[in-house]
Structure 1
Amino acid sequence: MIALAHNDLTAAFNHIGQEVISRFGKPKAILSICAHWYADGTYIQSAEKPRQIYDMYGFPDELYEVQYPVSGNRDLTMDVLNLLGDKVSINDTWGIDHGTWTVLVHMFPKADIPVVQLSVNRRLTEEECYNLGKELAPLREKGYLIFASGNVVHNLRAVEFDNPRGTPAADAFDEFIKEAVLARNDEAVIHYDTHKDADYAVPTKDHFLPLLYALGASEGETPMVYNNIRNLGSMSMTGYIFGMEE
């Protein structure tokens, strides 16, 4: 429902998009590493006009009417193929899913920046996801924006729809990860499962792993934190942006 909202959360997305363009110019293209393309391999899209996917069910009709008609970018696809070699292959069976467009519709509402999605590989360990992010880091120097979409805390089975805040366990785990990210204690984030609330906060890895790709791609950089909130009890909206520290 973020796509339809106009609140502090979405205003922060919009502000970040404006700041990126103001400081660096419009990105050449966006590489989106999104939790919702959780696949059995590392795949990159090559479609000239990737389809928009409405990969969610039971929501109001107006959500399925949101349009974010971005193009793909062959140069970005080829750069990823060149960087990752035989670790990646082209796969156009997916598209631009809601983990990507619900945020980008606020961040870059004109939909005038090409988007290429990279799958989150379920077969990789946490450290391998981090290292893959390191291999993608040179994309940033070419004018591409690396965008990782997920949630540090994401437990759908424990959602409390009448709770506008987080549970104590969600708060504790999110704070632990935030402190580690700000200290660039990447090992603590990679080994998040040592925290006592890890099983509650990360019952499945799909939504957590994008953060590891982002940390690898920004090794050593201190991020800015935004949307540092929890909601629905068991969901975290805390985000990090790298490369814009003062």
Structure 2
Amino acid sequence: MKRKQFLKSLALLPLIGSTMHLRDLNKMTSNMSNTGKMPVLFLGHGSPMNAIEENEFVEGFRTIGRSLQKPNAILCVSAHWETRGTFVTAMNNPKTIHDFGGFPQALFDVEYPAPGSPDLALETQKLITKTHVELDHKWGLDHGAWSVIKHLYPNADVPVIQMSIDYSKPGRHHYELAQELNSLRHKGVLIIGSGNMVHNLRKVAWNKLHENYAFEWATEANETMKKHILNGDHQKLIDFKSQGTAFDLAIPTPEHYIPMLYALGLKDENETVRLFNDKAVGGSLTMTSFIAG
């Protein structure tokens, strides 16, 4: 779209109205200039304690962070922001949300002061036609986002926005919605899904939290998921509710699984997938993560 046409279309958006000055428009268009294509990530975030502990999973996040070119911005779909409808954070300075309990004070003391990006929020809203997207000014960055992004970019110098998960929609909706965001990858935006492929807190073996231990059903589900991911068989992963007992136990509720569908929806057909942090925790959780690009 030519610059003149783009500015004209922006003028029609009621959310911009007469308050946006020419310098704001210039800033928006310059920020959306094309760059090298960014990969897409799915990160198994696990316990909030991964934000402050030193372990192999944290090192896995850091290693991936070092392998990436620095993005212009990050869009994160976190398991911990469920809404009815779809929202994107649009504030300049998102707060660090400590959305958990029962952990050491040191974890509550962590702040991740990354800036937001109202421009990226507006561009995300414009790209999505599958559903109406609301701009949010109240949420911030929950631990599904900051606890892992802080290891990728510890200086908190990359703007971050979050997009919520509409809990009323099926897997196919989320997969197709993700596809509408693909052009952002060509504009320097790193898109991250943050959750866990296998996530059943009710069945955690608390006495094995520090072991690489998985129940048989968790291993079966994780191995099957990985096979479908590597083979590009996304349909079975989209239809996760029809894949048998192991999947039912691995995904008792879908909020930690759905961010993976966003990452798969954003993967182009000719792109390769590389797995990392592929281990189980506490019997009923897996930290399996992947990068596609």
Smaller-chain TM-score range? over 0.9
Hey, what's the Cα distance between the residues in 2 that align with 1:121 and 1:241? 24
Output the amino acid matched with 2:111.
Answer: Q
Hey, what's the Cα distance between the residues in 2 that align with 1:93 and 1:208? 25
Output the amino acid matched with 2:220.
Answer: A
For structure 2, the residue ranges without an aligned partner over 5 or more in a row are 1-48
Q: Which residue of 2 aligns with 1:191?
A: 239
Superposed displacement of residue 67, structure 1: 1.6
Q: Which residue of 1 aligns with 2:201?
A: 156
Output the amino acid matched with 1:126.
Answer: G
Q: Which residue of 1 aligns with 2:181?
A: 136
Contact 1:183 1:222 in 2 (8 A): no
Matching of residues 1-246 of structure 1 within 5 Å: 1-21=49-69, 26-85=70-129, 87-163=132-208, 164=211, 165-193=213-241, 194-220=243-269, 221-243=271-293
Output the amino acid matched with 2:157.
Answer: D
Hey, what's the Cα distance between the residues in 2 that align with 1:55 and 1:189? 28
Superposed displacement of residue 224, structure 1: 0.7
Bigger radius of gyration? 2
Superposed displacement of residue 65, structure 1: 0.9
Hey, what's the Cα distance between the residues in 2 that align with 1:155 and 1:35? 13
Superposed displacement of residue 4, structure 1: 1.1
Superposed displacement of residue 123, structure 1: 1.5
Q: Which residue of 1 aligns with 2:15?
A: none
Hey, what's the Cα distance between the residues in 2 that align with 1:39 and 1:222? 32
Q: Any runs of at least 4 consecutive aligned residues in structure 1 with deviations exceeding 2 A, and if so which? A: none
Superposed displacement of residue 70, structure 1: 0.6
Output the amino acid matched with 2:112.
Answer: Y
Output the amino acid matched with 1:138.
Answer: S
Q: Which residue of 1 aligns with 2:5?
A: none
Superposed displacement of residue 98, structure 1: 0.4
Normalized against structure 1, the TM-score is what? 0.94
Contact 1:51 1:95 in 2 (8 A): yes
Superposed displacement of residue 74, structure 1: 2.0
Superposed displacement of residue 87, structure 1: 2.3
* 3-state SS in 2 of match to 1:197: helix
* Count of residues paired in the alignment: 239
* 3-state SS in 2 of match to 1:44: strand
Hey, what's the Cα distance between the residues in 1 that align with 2:183 and 2:168? 24
Bigger shift: residues 156-165 or 171-180: 156-165
Superposed displacement of residue 58, structure 1: 0.5
1:86-120 per-position Cα deviation (integer Å, ceiling 9, x unaligned): 52111222110001111111111111101000001
Hey, what's the Cα distance between the residues in 2 that align with 1:102 and 1:166? 23
Bigger shift: residues 49-58 or 191-200: 191-200
Output the amino acid matched with 1:240.
Answer: F
Output the amino acid matched with 2:180.
Answer: E
Q: Which residue of 1 aligns with 2:19?
A: none
Contact 1:173 1:195 in 2 (8 A): no
Normalized against structure 2, the TM-score is what? 0.80
Hey, what's the Cα distance between the residues in 2 that align with 1:199 and 1:181? 18
Hey, what's the Cα distance between the residues in 1 that align with 2:237 and 2:159? 30
* 3-state SS in 2 of match to 1:240: strand
Q: Which residue of 1 aligns with 2:40?
A: none
* 3-state SS in 1 of match to 2:235: helix
1:176-218 per-position Cα deviation (integer Å, ceiling 9, x unaligned): 0001001010001111221331221000011000111111111
Bigger shift: residues 203-212 or 77-86: 77-86
* 3-state SS in 2 of match to 1:31: strand
Hey, what's the Cα distance between the residues in 2 that align with 1:127 and 1:90? 23
Superposed displacement of residue 148, structure 1: 0.5
Query: Identity of counterpart residues, as a percentage?
Result: 38
Superposed displacement of residue 121, structure 1: 1.0
